[in-house]
Amino acid sequence: MLFLKKNKLKKISFLLFFTLLIVSCGKDDGGDGPDQEINGDIDFVKTYGGSESDEAVSVVEAADGGFVILGTTRSSNGDITDKSGNDSDFWLLKITKTGEIVWSKTYGGSDDENAARITKTNDGGYLLSGYTTSNDGDVSGNEGFQDYWILKVDASGNILWDKNFGFAGSDQAYKAFQTTDGGYFITGFFDVSASGGAGNDLQRGVVHGVGEFWGIKLDANGNKEWRRYFGGTNNDRSYDAWQTADGGFLMTGTSESVDFDKIDPKGSYDYWAVRLTPSGDLVWTKSFGGAEIDNSYASLKTNDGNYIMVGDSRSSDQDVTSPRGNADAWMVKFDDNGNKIWQKSFGGSQFDTTHSIVQRANGDYILAGHSRSSDGDLQSNNGVNDAWILVVDNNGALKFEKSVGGSGLDFASEAIETSDSKILAVGDSESNDLDIPLNQGSKDFLIIKLK
């Protein structure tokens, strides 16, 4: 009986060991769990386009695990199958998880359209934002030179509605997203001098500026609820926005002004954040930067309730404490009152910038942009300009970076984390060698997947 008990214990011990071994191997085998580490190896690089200029600017993951990519095209051949003429149109491309084309659609009129961002909507469709100079085709109106242009499409890319907003000058939308009340918010900039001071539904009786941050709140059908503009005498351009915890909004971008709503200028151009109430009234504005040119192109509402702005900085003073070279990728984290928490620079001796930021499920940040450096934080450079992807931890420490490109000009505009815990970045390429497998024309959509 004792012999049987010992044998039984040995069998149990062996089963426990074997189970632990399997679990251990499962954690180390590079599986697709949400905490999987990304080491920056290339999974694939793909290009899409025609004989003219095709530039991808934004991407989301579809419900089926594929990807929907928004950009601008001047091509009417190659992968673009529903367009004629060499004017520029929005181009929406859906690909599978491994990069095969599912469908392709273009949107626009007889003049030029330029795409800026795609975001998901609660009904499974998408919101496309950018600007237009057309007044025909898919564009239902035009108020002047360039207007904000917003398209609501379903999961297959079919147009549900479009809206344009603007005045006589250059009015450019950069991000539109669905709000918690089922409506939408648009951020961008407009020429307030061309509008004669119009464009602010809460008229303050002051006409100022060349370009202003311009926020528009829409209802669920895309109808305007209110408009607000903010800025100073010079150029102020908003490229990103978020809904805040209290239902208000944070608009971010770049400001050259030193007056009116810009109360704390740092230098030539600054990162600039504008905090609004739910009805669009100004709560506070905040500048970040140094004495030189600092441009912010994207921002993020972080998991801990704070915010990060990214872009590039040429400064070496005030808020910028550890510059690397000519221009660096620069990220600054701040709280909901605009108080700076920390700032970080990344780059080498040449021009380096980031144009997007997202937060991973494990708390890390993924940044995407482009670089000309091959020193400092950069390990390599394949040509004139490479697409550049970075991952930093939640304190801003660099975990890895990856340059992808050929001997020509290659750019990354946006990167996301995929559901299989990889990185998908989009941009454009003029290369036809090294990391870039094919070039069909002037510029192609560039899609990079890292694992």
- What's the pTM? 0.92
What does the DSSP assignment read for 22-45?
HHHHHHHTT---TT------EEEE
* Fold held by 42-450: Neuraminidase (2.120.10)
Whole-angstrom Cα distance, residue 440 to residue 345?
35
* Cα 275-278-283 angle, rounded to 5 deg: 30
Which sequence spans correspond to the domains of the chain? 42-450
- Encoded amino acid at 282, one letter: L
- Which residue reads 């954690």 in tokens? 27
Q: Distance of CA 93 to CAs 44, 298, 376, 436, Å?
A: 17, 23, 36, 19
Q: Count Cβ atoms below 10 Å from residue 17 Cβ, excluding itself.
A: 10
Please give the chain's pLDDT, 451 residues, in tens.
333 334 443 443 433 333 333 333 333 334 445 557 888 999 999 999 999 999 999 999 999 999 999 999 999 999 999 999 999 999 999 999 999 999 999 999 999 999 999 999 999 999 999 999 999 999 999 999 999 999 999 999 999 999 999 999 999 999 999 999 999 999 999 999 999 889 998 766 666 778 899 999 999 999 999 999 999 999 999 999 999 999 999 999 999 999 999 999 999 999 999 999 999 999 999 999 999 999 999 999 999 999 999 999 999 999 999 999 899 999 999 999 999 999 999 999 999 999 999 999 999 999 999 999 999 999 999 999 999 999 999 999 999 999 999 999 999 999 999 999 999 999 999 999 999 999 999 999 999 999 9
Whole-angstrom Cα distance, residue 401 to residue 382?
14
Yes or no: say if 392 and 344 are a contact pair by the CB < 8 Å rule: yes
